[in-house]
Amino acid sequence: MMKPIFFGVVALMFAVVVMQPEQVSMQAADGATATDSEKWNYMHKTCSSKLHDQINMEFGASLFYLQYAAYFAQYKVNLPGFEKFFFNAASEEREHGIKLIEYALMRGVTPISDSFNLAANYAFEGEPAAVNGSVALAALGKALAKEQEVTKSIRELIKICEGDLNDYHLVDYLTGEFLEEQHQGQRELAGKISMLNKMLVTNPELGEYIFDQQNM
């Protein structure tokens, strides 16, 4: 009669010893002391912090494109196709930033009060650099580099939030919506750069003008 009780007590003690460090390490790894009511849709702090960096980057990209939009919209430059393209790009990046803020709030992340590190104005300091004599070509190259930077950052965010942090809902959202758009955007820019390069060969001014009218 005593034997089953003895083994029962030993098994219980074993379970307590095995389970306790796991609970402690989960809390320690998180570094947060979330109450039960805050855990309803919980996102790991490392993941939400990197998500905040991504939001910062999206708004940064928006201002970066706004600088080019304002440049091409000037009467002395007057390339309406490039102007429209970059104003649209700026709106899209702003929209991405808002979407990620909405996602974070849906997941119960408290709005972060850290200030964003954004450019303070929409004008370049001085004349933007040209490539092959064309600021338009340089702008497309800079836009492609910016998109590559954003894609890399999204991939890093995915890497942080998958695996041990097990945030596959965020990973799925980023992979399906954001990466899809990144890949398509990069392909579009690479195609435009290739085409504009060809059109600049014989008559750069005319080539840039026709490209602005027909390809932007």
The binding site comprises 58, 93, 96, 147, 182
The stretch among 11-19, 58-66, 164-172, 198-206 that binds Fe ion (CB under 5 A) is: 58-66
Among candidate residues 177, 179, 184, 199, the one with its CA nearest the CA of residue 81? 199
Which of residues 90 and 216 has its CB atom nearest to Fe ion in the complex? Answer: 90
If binding means CB under 5 A, how many residues of this protein chain bind Fe ion?
3
Site membership for Fe ion, residue 52 (CB under 5 A): no
Site for Fe ion in 65-94 (CB under 5 A): 93
* 101 Cβ neighbours under 8 A, 6+ residues apart: 55, 111
Query: Cβ-closest residue to Fe ion?
Result: 96
The binding site for Fe cation comprises 58, 93, 96, 147, 182
Site membership for Fe ion, residue 146 (CB under 5 A): no
Which DSSP string corresponds to 86-152? HHHHHHHHHHHHHHHHHHHHHTTPPPP-SPP---S-SS-SSPPP-BTTBHHHHHHHHHHHHHHHHHH
Which of residues 66 and 200 has its CB atom nearest to Fe ion in the complex? Answer: 66
Site membership for Fe ion, residue 96 (CB under 5 A): yes
Length of the chain: 216
CB 42 within 8 Å of CB 30: no
The residue ranges that bind Fe ion (CB under 5 A) are 58, 93, 96
